[in-house]
Structure 1
Amino acid sequence: MDDANARARLEHMLAELDRSIRVLRGDPVSVGDRSAADAGSVLTEADRAQAMIEAADRQRTAVVAALGRLEAGVYGRCVDCGAPVPEGRLAARPEASRCVQCQSRRERRR
């Protein structure tokens, strides 16, 4: 993936993540007139929204880091071993920082 295409995709992802996070952080439901059962469902929705915000924040951090690697001239290189990250992986996940082997090792350690 060429740098211009990667930058455009990453910047678009960043804008979409920022928009999603803003929407998720909003308070579209007021609990003032609700019954206790409804209040419980609002808490469940709030928990779900918080989990989605945390996931979006993690992805946003990865996108910002990818833009930093692009600026540093090391985009597309694994941050662990330095090998090229396969084009298909970058096409699917432009924010990917590791080659498939290093990512697999990292996930197994978790």
Structure 2
Amino acid sequence: MNDATARVRLESMLSELDRSIGILRGDPAALRDRSAADAGSDLVDADRNQAMLEVATRHRRSVLEALRRIDDGCYGLCVDCGRPVPEGRLEARPEASRCVQCQSRRERRR
């Protein structure tokens, strides 16, 4: 995926994440822009809401890091080993920062 395409996809993801985070936090501006379907899916459970907020915030951070890698000219290179991240992985997850092998190693250590 070229940098321009990646940037467009990442910026779109960032916009959606910001909207979702605003809704999860109860931001009045985000709530005003909700559709009727979104309004019907209010989260009642505070723990579930907090977990979703944490996931969205982590995802937002990874999108911002990917945009920085584009700016730095190293987008598409594994942050651990420096090898290219496979094109298919970037298509599926434009915010991916590691090749498959390094990501697998990282997940096994957790």
Q: Distance in 2 between matches of 1:27 and 1:49?
A: 14
- Per the alignment, residue 98 of structure 2 pairs with 98
Matched to 1:78, the amino acid is C
Specify the structure having the higher radius of gyration (Cα): 1
In 1: Cα distance, 2:27 partner to 2:75 partner: 37
After TM superposition, where is structure 1 displaced by more than 2 Å over at least 4 residues in a row?
A: none
Aligned pairs for 1:1-110 within 5 A: 1-26=1-26, 42=44, 45-110=45-110
Distance 2:14 2:27 in 1: 22
How far does the alpha carbon of each residue in 1:24-49 deviate from its partner, in whole angstroms, 9 at most, with x for none?
11189xxxxxxxxxxxxx4xx11100
Distance in 2 separating the partners of 1:12 and 1:87: 19
State, as a whole percentage, how many aligned pairs show the same letter.
74
Quick one: distance in 2 between partners of 1:85 and 1:48?
Answer: 33
The number of residues matched between the two structures is: 96
Q: State the alpha-carbon separation in 2 of the partners of residues 27 and 68 from structure 1.
A: 27
Alignment correspondent of 1:31? none
Aligned-pair CA distance for 1:18? 0.3
TM-score (norm: length of structure 1):
0.84
Task: Tell me the C-alpha RMSD between the 2 structures.
Answer: 1.6
**Alignment correspondent of 1:39:** none
TM-score (norm 2): 0.84
Where structure 2 has 5 or more consecutive residues not aligned to the other structure, the ranges are: 29-43
